[in-house]
Structures are given as C-alpha cells and as structure tokens.
Amino acid sequence: MSLLKATSNSSSSSSSSSSRILRAPSQSPTRRYPLKPPLLNTVVHFLFSIATTILLYLVSLGPIPQHVGFVMDGNRRYARGLGKEVSEGHGEGFAALKRTLEICLRLRIRAVSVYAFAIDNFSRSENEVSALMRLAKDRLAELCQHGELLEEYGVKIKFIGQISLFPPDVQQAVREMEEMTKHHKNGVLNVCAPYSSRDEITTSLQDTVQTVLRDSDSIRVNDIKSEDILRRLGTSKAVSEVDRALFSRPDESGKLDILVRTSNVKRLSDFMMWQASQDTQLHFVNTFWPEFGLSDMIPILLGWQQKQWIKHLGWS
C-alpha cells in the first residue's frame, strides 16, 4: 500500500495535521481575541480536524492534479504590514510551505515544485540573504527528519538550480537532505533555489546538445523535439524518479497542472516557464504566502477539477 495515504485514513492523526493546515497567522498586531478555555479550544480543534478530513476526502474523490507549482510571494510585505522583521515573514513563509505541502500530500499530489530562492535574490541585503539561508537549512531539514512529512508520505526532496552559488554549509545541508530522502518513490518536493527558468532551460539545451554530439547515431539535431528539452529540465528529472505507476499521465508529469502565485502579483517571474504549458491553470491569489492555506487551496483545486470534468465531457 502506498505511503501516500487517502484522506479518510488519518483519523488518529487528523487532529494534529488539520490544526497545522487550518492554523491562521495573526492578522494585525493591534487586534485582540479573548482566550478560549482549554476545553473549548480542544473542541474547536477537534471540529476543525473533522471538517478538514471530510473536505479533503470529498476533493480526493475527483481528479487530482499530478504536478503543482507555487511562487511563494509576499513574505516581506506581510512582515512589514505587521511591523515585523523581514526574517519573521520568511519564517512564517516556511510554516505556510509545510501547511500547503501537507494538503498536497494528503490529496496524493505526487509532485510539488516551489520557487524558494531566485538567482537574482542574491542582490538583496546581506542580512536578509543570510537569514534566508539559515531558515532554509534548518526548516527544510526538519521536513526530512524521522517521522516528519517527507518520511511519513514517502516523498523525496530535490533542489533544482545553481546549488554551487549557495554557501558551503548550505551546499552540505542540501546534499544531506537529498541523501536522507533519496529512496522515497511516492512523490517529490522540488525546491527551486537558486533558480531561474531561463537558467534551467539553458542547462537542458546544453545537455541535449551534448547528447547529440556524444551519440549522433541515436539522435540528430533535426530530431530534437520540445519533449526532449522538457525531459532534461531539472524539475522533470526529479519528477521522473517518482514511481511512474502513481501518475495518471506519466508522460506529462514534468508539466505543471496548476501554477499558483500569491500576493496578487500577476507574472511568472522566471519560474517554470517551459513547464507552464497551454493546459496549465494559472492562479494569482490576493493572499500573502505566510497566510496561504486550505481556504485558498480548495477553490483552486475545485476550479481545476471543474475544468477536467468539462474536458472529459467534451464541452470545451
């Protein structure tokens, strides 16, 4: 039985997992809420967990996307709006990543790709870059630990991009995280950092040209197709390490079914441009990434499912 569990099988752990999914960050430093009595708090969390489990189960009955991408935007604006340090915004952004990843894994979405750090981000202040490096090293490592999400669901972590640009200690942490999860075959979390889509495409083209030069008998220049470039993209290579039998459309697993960008910015910002094909559903949501959660994700998934049913019925 696959380690990627159906949502209806998690009754014993649904309370803790649902509370992580539903937990909402504070909206304003000036707003005050009365403290709930411990018993009431327990009852509320229990009801939330039941509602979450039922909701995810109902969504799981329909078609499920096999590859979803996220541009995790808005951490800095979120922090500044609340009068917090930028590093705190990034910290809450990592919490949102874990929350969103759990939603995807419970729904058996096999590939999740996140834009964690652009190559251009190295131009930011030294303090912010250093804080991001520490957070990435510590928080992502937590996901790989024994008993955590990636082990629980049998998902590997892969870093896509120019890893050599990271400081040596972060490069070492990246190697250790990938090593810890390399035998997992039920899904993949692609952490795109330091990344740009143009760099990924360039690397894929170089790889394709080298293949032609090395083995001209098996492939010629005129035989190169767009699928050859797609197959050699870093994200596609990572997805190809997942058990093919788990995908409904294994030959298209490298393509994005859904691409979500938070904070109401309507551009791709050099993220997975080749993989965002004509069938990719783009969503630009108003929510800042640290606030992103189940209430944002469910309408996106329902919209995608509606599109699939319409296509299946031949109405499009």
The model's pLDDT over 129-166, given as tens digits with 9 standing for 90+, comes to 999 999 999 999 999 999 899 999 999 999 999 999 99
Please give the pLDDT value at position 195.
Answer: 98
Whether the CB-CB separation of 173 and 135 falls below 8 Å is answered with no
Please give the pLDDT value at position 35.
Answer: 54
160: in domain: yes
If one counts the domains in the chain, the total is 1
- d(CA 287, CA 56) in angstroms, rounded, equals 21
Please give the pLDDT value at position 12.
Answer: 42
In 3D space, the residue among 121, 94, 115, 76 whose CA is nearest the CA of residue 268 turns out to be 115
Please give the pLDDT value at position 223.
Answer: 85
79: in domain: yes
Per residue in 225-258, pLDDT (tens digit) is 999 999 999 999 999 999 999 999 999 999 999 9
203: in domain: yes
Whether the CB-CB separation of 235 and 156 falls below 8 Å is answered with no
5: in domain: no
Please give the pLDDT value at position 34.
Answer: 56
45: in domain: no
**Domain encompassing residue 75:** 63-313
Q: Which residues of the chain have pLDDT under 70?
A: 1-36, 316
- d(CA 47, CA 66) in angstroms, rounded, equals 30
Please give the pLDDT value at position 175.
Answer: 97
113: in domain: yes
- d(CA 57, CA 304) in angstroms, rounded, equals 16
Beta-sheet strand order (sheet of 111-115)? 155-160, 187-192, 111-115, 67-71, 258-261, 281-284
Q: Which amino acid is at 112?
A: V
Please give the pLDDT value at position 14.
Answer: 45
Please give the pLDDT value at position 32.
Answer: 52
Biggest CA–CA distance in the chain, Å, is 74
- d(CA 84, CA 25) in angstroms, rounded, equals 13
Instruction: Please state the pTM of the whole predicted model.
Output: 0.86
44: in domain: no
110: in domain: yes
In this structure, what CATH number is given to the domain that contains residue 208? 3.40.1180.10
